[in-house]
Amino acid sequence: MAQARPLRVSVQAWQPPRRIDAIDFWLRSRLLATAHALRETLRPSARRWPVGSHALADAPVLAQYRTPLWTDGRADEFPLVAGKVQNLRVARRAFDAVEVPAGEVLSFWRQLGRPASWRGFVQGRELRGGCVVPTLAGGLCQLSNALATVAVRAGFELVERHGHTARIEQAGEPGADAVDATVFWNYIDLKVRARQAWRLEVELTGTELVLRIRGRGASAAPFVPVTMRRASEDAGAALPVARGCLSCDQAACFRHRPRVDVGPEGLTIALLDGWTPEFARYLREEHPGAQRMQPVPLRLAFWRRPATGWHREPVAAGVAPAQAPWAASLRRALWQRLWARQAGRRQASLIDGQRWLAQAFAARLKPEHTQLVVEQALLPHLQRLGALDGRRVIVLAGALPMADIERRLDEASRRWPDDATLRDFRADASLVRAESLALARASIVVTPHAEVARQLAASRRLDWVLPEIRATGRAKAGGQELPLVVFAASALARKGARELAAALQGWPCRLRVLGSPSDDARLWQGIGHVEHMNWQGDWLAGADVVVLPAHIEHAPRALLRAVAAGVPVVASTACGLGALPGMREIAPGDVDALRAALRTACSR
């Protein structure tokens, strides 16, 4: 952003700014901003265009422009660079997916609105009087520069444009066709117009700001000359280098700020939901100094200290303790308890809770958090909030993508069309797309789940952590010789209950269902003895084989317990255990292979 009437200042002629000059600038800028607001109220020169239109979403790309986010600032000025990126995150929401009709004007300030702190804008950097000074919403000029450049590349008209009077030292020389366009609320504006309808797309990757313009019929439209308005007539001269307020040696200047001790790489923070030993070990080994944000464990009594959990993990010295969003955690716990036994609503309530938690986390993120380690369940919600923009993202992937989950449930539903539980949950299409976009931008994906690792082409496959448990014997109680098959889940179709019931028909055995019973009383007909544990008691006692032929399974903790106890395990590849000792994998839905694997395991 720039001042009202900037003067071109050379390095040799630079003098420390005076308070009286700052007061004079403040008064003149407020008068000009007020006068401009009155004119726009009486005779608006542009309107604000709605975000989220899709008429031109598939139109050809007319022009694209990329500019780096993090490499245009000194290490000791990192707080201002981080603030700039945060301001670009907030501003992106006002410009991305905007579609402008033919002949209409897109005004930078009309589209963005007033950059106030309550909207999420923070202290960034602004060029003023030959200096880089901390200013609320500073750094938006990177967006206006990119917008002007991509508009010129697309052959559009710049109705209004103003140039800077200095440049950032680390930014380097701009490209041959880069356009300099400064903005200052609200009277130094950038306005763009085209003869055809067009769509603007704004994206912040982990390292770049990317702008694209889409439209149709551009080749038939003649080139529109560019109208330039500059603050100086000497447009060809190289701009002088501005002094950095945080790195300047003029400590007596009233704008001088003490240096902030933040590393040049920024801070890493882990955004967590549940606790798993695999991810806990990964964080200890790879990100020992990372801050953490996590929900409050409200399922436990407040006066008791749990033995395990993210909040019990050791944190490196000097690292800020984890932040716990109490309100979101309490709201989620109550909501999920309300819908816990509603089969068609339970999964949707889990997604609601993850959304509330992600919103609380996003509100607590700081501009200095440049790297996020995110649990997958929070990922699509953070993507929709824009919290991933401009940051490096590492994903702790514990599940298949939602699109793949729905595809597999649809396949199982075609096999068992009378089972409504296979159709009781489908995620909102926009949420599925948000997860896909977030996974595509991830720099690293880690998971212990073999099927998830294959599906997501994970950067690193973690080892499963087996629980510490004594090996159990397979002696039959009371001389009972019938083999005992333990189904390590509730009696749900997505866990493979239908396939297991079909595989056990005509085979004398006992069945122990670890979880809750099925709503279908006919499910286990033809099987002699069936008991339900409801997740209570020593369910491994006397077991000959533990089975889970699931279509979807992301947390096979019961199977890991059986493997650790030395009990044979038969599981589908959807359980993701891979080549663990003592287990046999089958394809989901393959009843014949399941029957053969069970009988082989029980005959040993």
The domains spanning 267-461 and 477-602 adopt the same CATH topology: yes
Q: Where are the alpha helices (DSSP H) in 459-556?
A: 497-504
Confidence band, pLDDT 50/70/90 cuts, at residue 234: very low
Per-residue confidence (pLDDT) for residue 474, from 0 to 100:
56
CATH topology for 477-602 is Rossmann fold (3.40.50)
Residue 439 has pLDDT above 70, yes or no: yes
- Per residue in 84-94, pLDDT (tens digit) is 999 999 999 99
Question: Any idea what DSSP says for residue 123?
Answer: E
Residue 227 has pLDDT above 70, yes or no: no
Residue 219 has pLDDT above 50, yes or no: no
CA atoms of 553 and 451, how far apart (whole Å): 10
- Per residue in 491-533, pLDDT (tens digit) is 999 999 999 999 999 888 899 999 888 888 888 988 888 999 8
- Architecture field, domain 267-461: 3-Layer(aba) Sandwich (3.40)
What does the mean pLDDT of the chain come to?
A: 83
Per-residue confidence (pLDDT) for residue 214, from 0 to 100:
95
- The H-or-E segment that residue 281 falls in is helix 277-286
- Name the percent of the chain lying above pLDDT 90: 49
Structure token pair of residue 428: 């909102």
Per-residue confidence (pLDDT) for residue 301, from 0 to 100:
36
**Between 166 and 300, residue with greater pLDDT:** 166
Residue 378 has pLDDT above 50, yes or no: yes
CA atoms of 207 and 463, how far apart (whole Å): 31
Confidence band, pLDDT 50/70/90 cuts, at residue 470: confident
CA atoms of 177 and 586, how far apart (whole Å): 59
Query: Exposed (0-12), middle (13-18) or buried (19+): which is 216, by Cβ within 10 Å?
Result: middle
Domain positions in the chain = 19-244, 267-461, 477-602
Per-residue confidence (pLDDT) for residue 228, from 0 to 100:
45
Residue 107 has pLDDT above 60, yes or no: yes
Average pLDDT rounded to a whole number, residues 550-557: 93
Query: Exposed (0-12), middle (13-18) or buried (19+): which is 281, by Cβ within 10 Å?
Result: middle
- Per residue in 125-180, pLDDT (tens digit) is 877 766 777 888 888 999 999 999 999 999 999 999 988 766 665 555 556 678 88
**Between 318 and 342, residue with greater pLDDT:** 342
Average pLDDT rounded to a whole number, residues 388-408: 94
Structure token pair of residue 20: 């009286």
